[in-house]
Structures are given as structure tokens and as C-alpha cells.
Amino acid sequence: MGTNTQVWQYVKAYQWSDMLAMARNNKADPRQCSDGCSDRLVVITGATSGIGYATARTYASRGASLLCINRNVEKSRELCDELTREFGVRCRDIIADLSRLDDMHRVGHQLSQLCEPIDILIHNAGTYLTRRVVTADGLDTVFAVNYLSSFVINTLLLDKLRSQSHGRVLLVNSEAHRFAPWGLHLDDLCWEQHRYSGLRSYGSAKLAQLLAMQTFVQLLSGCNVTVNAMHPGAVRTESGKENGALYKWYKNRILERNFRSATISADALYYLGVSAEIEGVSGKFFNLTTLENPAPPALDRAAAEKLREVSLALGRLDDPLRSSAPCHDRESARNPRGDAPIAEPGGST
């Protein structure tokens, strides 16, 4: 939670109209994009189930090449075989556990070495836990997977993204960021000192992701690379399957009883990744495809800067402000889809 001054600032900034808009937008259908996606590279984390799986199929059906970052080897290979067989597209994978810092770094470095531009990068991997689980690196699992993995990968990709002539980064976020209404515990992001709850930890991780979005928008300023976040709608997923029988019963029988198919999330992510209507739009939060105001703590620039400093330390990263290359010179650039060979990620099929 922020300081008393911050909390008071947040209280003054909350608007009933924003909450009413959220309730109204939750019932809306996403905008559709009919444009194709041939010859574009789409990177998706957590693509073997739920929103990630539906999104991978949607992009593949429009001709995109896929690079999927998954934890389960067997499911990942089955996914790539399925997409190649059904849609005739190229599908590769990187096998990684995005709760582990070593794997986050490995993914970031492998993506940064690709010879082709990353047209669309979708950070979808996530988890929801009702009890605190500590990773091998001593981090809270929900914090590591839902927030830190995207922060680490994006940071390691900055030079590549800045060297491209285009690109879109999409964060699968959540309206649950509103469950951290008074900000983050920046001195205790891994819940060692404060009482843990599933909703609070998940909401805080999603709020952190929105705050970090401000940082990456600033770092990519002047480039033709955008960063946006979206709430994927109330849809049925496999998130939370690691929790106990009571939670799973509640989720299946009550919570998701009237939820919709993950295909609406996939349609929204396709629109946000491809549609010309949002060309150049960056740093925004969408409820599916409807622009929406996030909660006031997500707009706190001072908190975003403090979070950046803490995240660099937790993620074992150098400060990109000291080393980032300049933006790509689009006037003198060669065709980004020249005949240069494509580097193969480790574990690819």
C-alpha cells in the first residue's frame, strides 16, 4: 500500500463513471479485425491452454508464424503440430518455466537474437494461487509469473524492439488490478511481511504490470513500437488448477458458470495486434477492445519509477537507461523482412 498521501491522492482520483464503464464494458463483445496476418511473427507466452491456446489458433488461422513459449514440452509440441497441420503455418516453441529467473533471462536473450522482427509479442502466461508459493529464486510465484517475467523479457528485448521499424507488445492484464486499490507494497512485493490472499497478490501483480507499461512506453518513445494492456473478459480458463478441491469446485460450478469462451479474448488480442485502427496507440488499457481508464494507482508515475528500480534488482537486470540503443532509423532502413536467415530458438520444432 502506498503512503497516506498517495492513498488520499488515489481516493480523490477515483470516479464512479469509471466503475460504471467497467461494468458496462464487461458485457460488450470485442471489435473484429478482418485483416490477414501472413508473414508476421507472433510470440505468445503460455499458449497451450485457455486464452493463449485460443489466441495461437486465431493468429495461425490468419497466416501468422508462431513462436510459443510454454512450460510443458509435450503439450507445446502437440500445439505446434496442430497449428502446422491445420493451418499450414510455421510454429516453433521455447520451453521455459516463467516462474524461474534463469528461464526468463534465457527467453529474453533467445528472442533478442532472432534475425526477424517480432511483429506482435503477447505476454499471456499467468497463474492464480490461493496460497503463497515461493519460487526457486525466493520470489512469490504469482508475482514472478504474472508480472516479473514480462518485465524481464521486455527489458532484455528493448534493443531489438528499438532496432525494428514496427512492433506491438500486448499485456494480458485484468480488471483484477483494481483489487490493489491503494497501490503496491513496494517494499514487500513478494508478500513476506503482509498477509497473503489470492485476490490481493493477483491484483497487485496485474497493477505492477500496468505501472511497468508506463516505463516501457517511455523507453520506446520515438519508436514505432507500442505497448498496451487488455482485460481478456470473463472467460473460462484453466487458471487456478493448482489450488485445492474447494477452490476448483467454486471456480467450475459458481465463478465461471456464466463465463464465455476464451475465443472472445483471442478476437480482442487479434484486433489489438493487427488492426490499423489502433496504429500508434500506446500505453493504454483496454477492456477487450474498449478503451478504459485503469484504477488511479496504475497511473502513478512516481510509483512506476520506484517499481522499475525494485524490479531491476529482483530481476537481476542492468538498467536499460544506461545502455539502450537508439531507435531504428526508419528512413534509411532496409526491408525488415529481407532474406536474412531466421535464428532458431532452443527447443524449437
- Could you report how far apart the first and last alpha carbons of the chain are, in Å? 45
Q: Which amino acid is at 342?
A: I
Query: Which CATH number belongs to the domain containing residue 19 in this structure?
Result: 3.40.50.720
Query: Judging by DSSP bridges, how do beta strands 290-292 and 285-287 pair with one another?
Result: antiparallel
The three-state secondary structure class of 47 is: coil
Express as a percent the part of the chain with pLDDT over 70: 85
- Residue 173 within a domain: yes
- Which DSSP helix (H) or strand (E) runs through 111? helix 101-112
Q: Given a cut of 60, is residue 41 above it in pLDDT?
A: yes
- Residue 341 within a domain: no
Beta strands (DSSP E) in 52-209 are 65-70, 91-95, 120-123, 167-172
Query: Judging by DSSP bridges, how do beta strands 167-172 and 285-287 pair with one another?
Result: unpaired
What is the average pLDDT across 29-56?
96
Q: Given a cut of 80, is residue 167 above it in pLDDT?
A: yes
Domain with 53 in it: 4-232+263-314
Q: Considering the chain, what is the average pLDDT of its residues?
A: 88
Per the structure, the count of domains in the chain is 1
Dihedral sign for Cα atoms in the order 159, 107, 199, 134: negative
What would the pLDDT profile of 181-216 be if each residue is shown by its tens digit? 999 999 999 999 999 999 999 999 999 999 999 999
pTM passes above 0.85: yes
What would the pLDDT profile of 211-244 be if each residue is shown by its tens digit? 999 999 999 999 999 999 999 986 656 665 676 6
What is the average pLDDT across 141-161?
98
Predicted pLDDT at 34: 96
- Residue 302 pLDDT class (50, 70, 90 cuts): very high
- Residue 114 within a domain: yes
Adjacency order of strands within the sheet including 41-45: 91-95, 65-70, 41-45, 120-123, 167-172, 225-231, 285-287, 290-292
- Residue 256 pLDDT class (50, 70, 90 cuts): low
- Residue 337 within a domain: no
Rama region for 283: left / alpha / beta (φ>0; ψ in -120 to 50; rest): left
Judge whether 66 and 124 are in contact, CB under 8 Å: no
- Residue 244 within a domain: no
- Residue 12 pLDDT class (50, 70, 90 cuts): confident
- Residue 252 within a domain: no
- Residue 338 within a domain: no
